[in-house]
Chains A and B, each alone.
Chain A
Amino acid sequence: MYTLPQLIEEDIQRIVAALKAFNILADATATLVIDKGGFLITHAGDPGDLDLTTIAALASGAFMANQTIAGLVNEKNFNSTYQQGEQFSLFIINIDDHCMLVVIFKSQSGVGVVKYYAESTVNKIAQQLIVAQKRDPGKGFNLSELNVADPQEMFRKKD
C-alpha cells in the first residue's frame, strides 16, 4: 500500500532548511513539500494569504493527471510540470514515489533558475526521506494517547 516513510521533527527541520536555502537561491516566494495524496507535509517561505492546503490538493491532482497523460502518450521520462502565470508561476517536480516539491515564484523570475536549484533541493529532500525510511519502521506514534472522547460529535450541524 502507498505509504510515506515515518518522519520525525528532525526530518522536518532538515527539509525546511533545504527549502529555505532553495527559496533564497531561486528567489522563490514559497516552497511546499506535499504528499501525492494531496496532503501538505511542510513548507517554507512567505505564502501571504495563499491557501496552501488547497494548493497542495490541487497541485497533487494536476501533477498526477499530467503524469497519467504522459503515460498515455508513452512518455516515460515525466517528472515535472510548469504553470506560467502573470503574477505568480508554479513549478512542480517529483521527489520520489510519495512526495513532490511545489515552488511558487514571481513570474518575472526565470523558471530556469528555479529548475536548476530545484534539482539539488529535491535530492536533499529525497536523501532525508531515505534516512527516514531506514529508521526503525516499527517506531510509531501512540495514538491511544489522543484519547478521542466522543468522535460521534466531531462535526456538528448548525441549528
Chain B
Amino acid sequence: MAIINQATKELQVKIVYYGPAMGGKTTNLVQVHDHVQTVAGNKGKLVSLATSSDRTLFFDFLPIEAMTIKGFKTKFQLYTVPGQVIYNTTRQLVLRGVDGIVFVADSQYEKMPENVESFQNLVDNLNTLKINLAEIPYVLQYNKRDLPNAAPMEYMEYLLNNREVQVPSFGASAHKCEGVFESLNMITRMLLQKFISQSTPQLA
C-alpha cells in the first residue's frame, strides 16, 4: 500500500512492471531512467539485480520523485519482476505492497501463449497476496510494435483486455522509448485518482 508520511510530507507509491520473459520490462525502466525530466537529485539510481546475461534475476528498481502536490513530495518506486517462469516466488515477493501494475506484453504472434500465461500468473500471485485484480489499477502495454511479426492491437485486446472492465492499453516500442511515458503517466493518473477517491492510504 502507498505510504503517506506526514512527518516528512511524502507520498510513496510502488508500481510493478509485470509480464513474460524478454518482453521489455527492464527496457521500460531503462528508458524512464534515461529520458525522464526531473529536477536534479530527484531521480535515483537504476538498480538491476540481473544475471551475467542481463536477465532479471530478482528485480530492477528505480526510485523517482515527481512534482510536489500541495506540499507533499510524491515518490514513485518502479520495480520489474523476473519474467522467467521459474522465478515465481521472486515475483510474489516483489508484488508485496504493490499499488499499480504495468503489464508489458510481447506483441509477437508466437509470444501470445506466454502473454496469457504471464497474465494468469499475475492474477494468481495477486490472489496469494489477497488482492483482487479488479481492485488494483493496471494498464496494458503492447510492446515491440515495431517488429514485423507483431499481432494486431485488436487481437491483443481480445486476448488480454477482454474483461468486464477494460483498462487503458498502449502500443509501445520500449527500446525507442515509444509508449513508455504514456503507460507510466496513465498508471500514475489512475493511482492518484484511486487514492483521492478512497482517501484511505497508509499514514506514516
Task: Judge whether A88 is part of the interface by a CB distance below 8 angstroms.
Answer: no
CB–CB A155/B90 < 8 A: no
Task: Judge whether A24 is part of the interface by a CB distance below 8 angstroms.
Answer: no
Contacting A at CB under 8 A, from B7-65, are 7-8, 11-12, 14, 32, 35-37, 44-45, 47, 49, 58-59, 61, 63-64
> Could you tell me how many residues of chain A have their Cβ less than 8 Å away from some Cβ of chain B?
47
Task: Judge whether A109 is part of the interface by a CB distance below 8 angstroms.
Answer: no
Residues of B within 8 A of A (CB): 1, 3-8, 11-12, 14, 32, 35-37, 44-45, 47, 49, 58-59, 61, 63-64, 66-67, 69-70, 72, 74-75, 77, 79, 89-90, 93-94, 96-98, 129-131, 177, 181, 184-186, 188-189, 192-193, 195-196, 198-204
Q: How far is the CA of A38 from the CA of B1 in the complex (A)?
A: 11
Q: How far is the CB of A29 from chain B (nearest CB, A)?
A: 20
Q: How far is the CA of A98 from the CA of B31 in the complex (A)?
A: 32
Which chain B residues lie closer than 8 Å to A13 at the CB level? 7
Which chain A residues lie closer than 8 Å to B11 at the CB level? 146
CB–CB B199/A155 < 8 A: no
Which chain A residues lie closer than 8 Å to B47 at the CB level? 54, 57-58
> Nearest CB to that of A144 among chain B residues?
B196
Tell me whether A155 and B36 are in contact in the complex, defined as CB-CB below 8 angstroms, given that A58-B61, A141-B6 are known contacts. yes
Which chain A residues lie closer than 8 Å to B186 at the CB level? 152
Which chain B residues lie closer than 8 Å to A153 at the CB level? 185
CB–CB A4/B129 < 8 A: no
What 4 pairs across the A-B complex have the smallest Cβ distances?
A37-B97, A151-B189, A12-B7, A156-B37
Q: How far is the CB of B66 from chain A (nearest CB, A)?
A: 5
- Checking A2, A12, A144 against B1 with a beta-carbon cut-off of 8 angstroms, the contacting residue is A2
Cβ contacts A to B, 29 pairs, < 8 Å: A1-B130, A9-B6, A13-B7, A35-B97, A36-B96, A37-B97, A41-B5, A51-B44, A53-B44, A53-B75, A61-B59, A65-B90, A138-B200, A143-B195, A144-B196, A146-B196, A147-B69, A148-B193, A151-B188, A151-B189, A151-B193, A152-B186, A154-B188, A155-B32, A155-B37, A155-B64, A155-B184, A156-B37, A157-B36
CB–CB B35/A157 < 8 A: yes
Task: Judge whether A86 is part of the interface by a CB distance below 8 angstroms.
Answer: no
CB–CB A61/B89 < 8 A: no
Per-position binary interface string of chain A over residues 34-55, scored 1 when its CB falls under 8 Å from any chain B CB and 0 otherwise: 0111111110000000010110
CB–CB A148/B181 < 8 A: no
Q: How far is the CA of A5 from the CA of B61 in the complex (A)?
A: 25
Which chain A residues lie closer than 8 Å to B70 at the CB level? 145-147
Tell me whether A6 and B203 are in contact in the complex, defined as CB-CB below 8 angstroms, given that A36-B96, A39-B14, A146-B70 are known contacts. yes
CB–CB A141/B203 < 8 A: yes
> Nearest CB to that of A138 among chain B residues?
B200
